[in-house]
Structure 1
Amino acid sequence: MIVRIMGEGQVKVADSHFTELNKLDDELLAEMESGDEPGFRRTLGALLEAVRRLGEPLADESLEPSELILPAEDATLDEVKEMLSDDGLIPADPSTISPPD
């Protein structure tokens, strides 16, 4: 799956890594719901770092459509809330993501 981190670029992440990413996404969602700003900051950073670590960066000139878009590390709690779906930032089953038109 092609994942874009806003302001950084794209990485290709194997579906096999989504269990680990979903654990962080669930933690992030819980912190957002409770208003835990320090926890939100820490977990958002950990989630983005995991995507960077597990993914393979695509060249800047690559024009692959992003199947998933994640916020920048400095995004606010309110900005991230606007990006949420029912599953959080990352779907529980990556195969359910519809490719962009």
Structure 2
Amino acid sequence: MIVRIMGEGQLDLSDADLELLNSFDRTLEDAIESGSEENFRGALHDLLQKVREGGKPLPADSLAPSQFILPPADASMDEVRQMLGDEGLIPDVG
């Protein structure tokens, strides 16, 4: 699956990473719901770091469509809240 981190590029992750990424996504949603900036920052950092660590970067000129688009590391809580769908940033697939 292809995941884009806004402002950084695309990474290719295995479908097996989806469940783990969903747990990070749920933590991020919980942090936003709590309104805690500190918890939000930590959860966003952890989600993005997991994608960076588990993903293989695609070339900058790659035209592969992104299955998921994640906010940049410096996104505000309000910006991320607007990006959230009913199932978070990374919906369960399948």
Structure 1 CA distance, aligned partners of 2:86 and 2:26? 11
1:75 alignment partner in structure 2 = 75
**Which TM-score applies when normalising by structure 1?**
0.89
Q: CA RMSD in A?
A: 0.8
Give the match for residue 99 of structure 1: none
Partners of 1:64 and 1:18 in 2: how far apart?
Answer: 18
Q: Aligned AA for 1:81?
A: R
User: Within 5 A, what are the aligned runs for 1:1-101?
Assistant: 1-93=1-93, 95=94
**Distance apart, 1:18 and its partner CA:** 1.1
Counting aligned pairs with the same residue, the percent is: 51
Matched residue pairs, number? 94
The runs of at least 4 consecutive aligned structure 1 residues that moved more than 4 Å come to none
Tell me the CA shift for residue 67 of structure 1.
1.4
Consecutive unaligned residues of structure 2, counting only runs of 5 or more, are none
In structure 1, stretches of 5+ residues that fail to align are 96-101
Question: Which amino acid in the other structure matches residue 3 of structure 2?
Answer: V
* 1:44 shift after superposition: 0.3
Distance in 2 between the 1:58 and 1:73 partners?
19
Query: Which AA in structure 2 matches 1:6?
Result: M
Q: 1:38-75: CA deviations, max 9, x gaps?
A: 01001100100000111110011111111110000000
Separation in structure 2 between the aligned mates of residue 9 and residue 15 of structure 1, nearest angstrom: 19
Q: 2:92 and 2:45 mapped to 1: Cα distance?
A: 20
